[in-house]
Amino acid sequence: MIAVDIGGTFTDFVALDERGDIKALKLLSTPRKLEKAVIEGLEKFSFREVIHASTIGTNALLGQVGLEVPRVALFTTRGFRDIVEIGRQNRPRLYDLYFEKPRILVPRELRFEVDERTLHTGEVVKRVSLEEVEKLAERAVSMGVVSVAVSFLHSYANPENEVIAGDVLKKKFKYVALSHETAWEPREYERTSTAVVNAVLMPIVSNYLEKLEKYVESRNASIYTMTSSGGLITVEEAVKRPVQLVESGPAGGVVAVAELARLLGLRRVISLDMGGTTAKAATVVDYEIQLTTEYEVGGEVHYGRVVKGSGYPVKYPFVDISEVSAGGGTIIWRDEAGALRVGPISAG
């Protein structure tokens, strides 16, 4: 068995053979062709199973050099076009007069309103028009969109309109993220944000994971990927919902710390994961990792479930991790006033 963790700066390999011997390897990551470093490292080992983890999702949202964020469109209920920009009043530092919200992942011209409506009871009071969605889809294609998020009001209660629109869009786009498939619950801002993040990551993750899976299968082996909650899923599931992989690398580290804590009898432990792009910390209490279903990704800082407002909300199970976008490769730069600033851009 071999475990692979793709970070913003390095790609790490740890191999475990039948005798229990452990071997490790570290290579520079290749952001412009993510699978390249992984395949280069795997060539040095024989294996029957590969466990994959990465921080590619969060690094892309933080603006790592070499990871290009795809052009994404949002299809939403008429009147809710600006929900992803309005967001919540949450902010990590309440009295910071210079606080800036994260950059909008979907610019306003790529947010399309669809004349449909479903009530909170699940009753469809206005069915979605196939012709309207097709017309908007053609417009999105002409604007260079490669991935689409669909988030209709109250689709958690009845996703009928969302499914119909999704079927139309899948004829035009390879990547379509439906909000009810990633966050089946109320709170339209968080649900829409989750769908948008999923749509952003779809092209990035599927591009290299499918190539990596093909290579691993050519070696007569199987591959699974870690999730942000510490579990394992197939590549097929990961490509469909890559939002699950955003913190898969750090989650794997916390799972390992929990096992070490159990072996050493330590009931209160803090884990620290310092990489080239970010630094992350988490707690292990009574040998158990701490989970949350509300997380924020892509912010300069993230304080777990306690303080919000710095990143993009994601409604999905995550190991509760605090994060800052400062690592060994973080770039120090001078702002307009001549003051030195740190990050979030990394040289890794």
CATH H superfamily, domain 2-65+204-245: ATPase, nucleotide binding domain (3.30.420.40)
- Please check whether residue 15 is in contact with residue 46, taking contact to mean a CB–CB distance below 8 angstroms: no
pLDDT at 96 over 80: no
Which residue matches tokens 């991935």? 147
pLDDT at 307 over 60: no
pLDDT at residue 65, rounded to an integer = 52
Domain-wise residue ranges, the chain: 2-65+204-245, 72-202, 248-332
pLDDT at 174 over 90: yes
pLDDT at residue 69, rounded to an integer = 81
Lowest mean pLDDT among 58-67, 96-105, 129-138: 58-67
- Please check whether residue 303 is in contact with residue 282, taking contact to mean a CB–CB distance below 8 angstroms: no
Beta bridge partners of 11: 6, 27
**Which residue, among 43, 54, 44, 47, has the nearest Cα to 9 in the 3D structure?**
54
Region 205-232 average pLDDT: 94
Give the three-state DSSP class for 240. Answer: helix
Beta bridge partners of 262: none
pLDDT at 263 over 90: yes
